[in-house]
């Protein structure tokens, strides 16, 4: 079973367009904070704040080597989102399967097992 707090943190982190852009860029490989900030229309300080949220959610890991902080994607956080979505998908698929069965039963012509009981 998934931890509700971890699911909440991951979806909160993914709820921001800048954080999703950071995730997208990191999906191609590790980058420094300054490299991540270049195409974004936000300050370096804002990028650092977004990275903190992504780290707390388990989506990103950062490591400081000398004066450079490098960032890389962590698959565990994405697995949390994937598992939660997969659970929801399974629930919906079972509901749709059951609805399909009910519709088939409703459309089927009355057979011996579906005849009205008041007829001789």
Q: pLDDT tens digits, residue range 14-55? A: 999 999 999 999 999 999 999 999 999 999 999 999 999 999
Question: Alpha carbon of 47 to those of 56, 88, 93, 105: distances in Å?
Answer: 14, 32, 39, 56
Can you give the pTM of this predicted structure? Answer: 0.70
In this structure, the chain runs to a length of 120
Could you tell me which CATH number the domain at 1-107 has?
1.10.10.10
| Domain limits, the chain | 1-107
- At residue 119, does pLDDT exceed 70? no
């Amino acid at each position: 079973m998934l931890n509700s707090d971890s699911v909440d943190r991951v979806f909160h982190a993914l709820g921001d367009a800048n954080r999703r852009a950071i995730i997208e860029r990191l999906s191609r490989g590790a980058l420094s904070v300054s490299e991540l900030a270049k195409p974004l229309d936000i300050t370096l300080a804002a990028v650092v704040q977004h990275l903190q949220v992504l780290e707390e959610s388990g989506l990103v890991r950062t490591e400081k080597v000398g004066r450079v902080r490098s960032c890389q994607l962590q698959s565990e956080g994405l697995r949390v989102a994937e598992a939660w979505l997969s659970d929801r998908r399974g629930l919906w698929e079972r509901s749709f399967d059951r609805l399909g069965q009910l519709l088939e039963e409703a459309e089927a012509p009355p057979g011996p097992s579906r005849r009205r009981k008041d007829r001789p």
